[in-house]
Structure 1
Amino acid sequence: MSSSPKTFDSEFIAEVQRESEQNLALCYQCGNCTAGCPVSFAYDYPVNQIMRLVQAGRKQEALSSHAIWLCASCETCTTRCPNDIDVARIMDVLRHMARREDIVSEKAVGAFWKAFLESVEKHGRVFELGLMANYVSKTGRMFTDVDLAPMALRKGKLGLRAHDIKKLAEIRGIFDRYREQKQ
């Protein structure tokens, strides 16, 4: 069901609650989540307003938000919530929902996610150098953090080849099941 930004979508609320295992009605907009968030300066909507958008069933606005993609998942919001709502988990669920619907408001973050998952699917774990090359090819950001590469190589944090892992087929099976479920 496609909805306009101002449309109330009760199915959306139920889906967020089911996937996050959180009771959205417990949020009374105290603002503690926003007050503690170290990344809120970069958000289009503060955390408490994201929560309010979800409570109001405003799916399109919530999933189109830049905030869900910029969230650092530090869980400060969760720690500060007086009603023990796992706000970080809700932000994570919103990001997954947006990704499933191909709504990615932060293109560089979306490109990183995609490159990361492609690396895990191909190698069974992250191949850092391959991840960086894939990310650069998706974004065109050739010289982003290039100054860090020599130090990462010296410290062995950036392998020149992928690591072999056992049961790679099982990991690829996870991705196959996800694609089947998405259809």
Structure 2
Amino acid sequence: MPTPSATHRFDEDFLKEVQQGSEQNLTRCYQCGNCTAGCPLSFAYDIPVNRLMRLLQAGEKHAVLSSKAIWLCASCETCTTRCPNEIDVARIMDVLRHMARREGLVAEPPVRHMWDAFLSSVEKYGRVFEAGMMANFVRRTGRFWTDADLAPVAIGKGKLGLRPHAIKHPDEVQRIFARFRDQR
């Protein structure tokens, strides 16, 4: 588990960027541990949520953005719900994923590939086209046979459409993605 080093320099700009991006006051966290205790995925994290919050407060940019925890977070908001200080921890994790991506610090590439495949599908079709998204994910990761046995079952139950769904006002979705690109 990363700890502040003796040569640590508090990165105030990093802390301000996270607080501004998430609209959360990180100084309100007093390390009670409720977020970690309730997190259904904490068993898989390299850094527990409350420890991640402490590293944020300490301005440990590299340790935080290099963490697998920010990529494995399911954004279920259990941490947010359990926080006695009403800190939206899930929102902070989302901001951290975006920051890590911009910095090129993606600790869990398959998660990033799934995210990219999902967003690509939504951008192209206006909503997720499951079969296309999975094909895109497989192409990006090279995981050709992972869960391949599930496709026929999902198709048979009508859970995996072979054609994209039509939506109303696809131009609205395009404007959202254009606005996102303009902000980068």
After TM superposition, the score normalised by the length of structure 2 is 0.91
Which portions of structure 1, spanning 4 or more consecutive aligned residues, are displaced by more than 6 angstroms?
none
Spell out, residue by residue over 1:153-181, the C-alpha distance to the aligned partner (whole angstroms, 9 max, x if none).
12211111111222222212222221222
Partner of 1:162: 164
Partner of 2:65: 63
Partner of 1:43: 45
Percent identity among equivalent residues? 69
SS in 1 for 2:149: helix
Q: Which runs of 5+ in 1 are unaligned?
A: none
After TM superposition, the score normalised by the length of structure 1 is 0.91
Note the 1:1-183 alignment, pairs <5 A. Answer: 6-182=8-184
Q: Which runs of 5+ in 2 are unaligned?
A: none
Q: Distance in 1 between matches of 2:130 and 2:8?
A: 42
Q: Which amino acid aligns with 1:25?
A: T
Spell out, residue by residue over 1:60-101, the C-alpha distance to the aligned partner (whole angstroms, 9 max, x if none).
211111000001112221222221211111111111222233
Q: Distance in 1 between matches of 2:124 and 2:29?
A: 41
* Alignment RMSD (CA, Å): 1.7
Q: Which amino acid aligns with 2:37?
A: A
Q: Distance in 2 between matches of 1:43 and 1:170?
A: 37
Count of aligned pairs between the two proteins: 179
Q: Which amino acid aligns with 2:33?
A: G
Q: Distance in 1 between matches of 2:8 and 2:63?
A: 8
Q: Which amino acid aligns with 1:143?
A: W
